[in-house]
Structure 1
Amino acid sequence: MYLQQQDKAEQYYNAFRDQKAVIERMPEVVQRQFREETKKYFDLD
């Protein structure tokens, strides 16, 4: 059970990291727009 959860956490982390890399390659305007949208769903700074 613990290993399954750890695996899932790792998958989420990797997906998040990959997505972050993609976002960082986008133009600044798109990045800002993306952050604005994300703030609506998550309370991220």
Structure 2
Amino acid sequence: MPTKAQVATWDRLMVPLSRVADPVLGYSLGKSILAVWQKH
């Protein structure tokens, strides 16, 4: 589960950026993130 800080960062950075980029790029890109965690 993402932390509150991670969600806030996403909301502050990615959402405004995508609002500008989506119309310019013709709504052709997704917004999914893939992450791989490894326990050491």
TM-score by length of 1: 0.41
- Between structures 1 and 2, the one with greater helix share: 1
TM-score (norm 2): 0.43
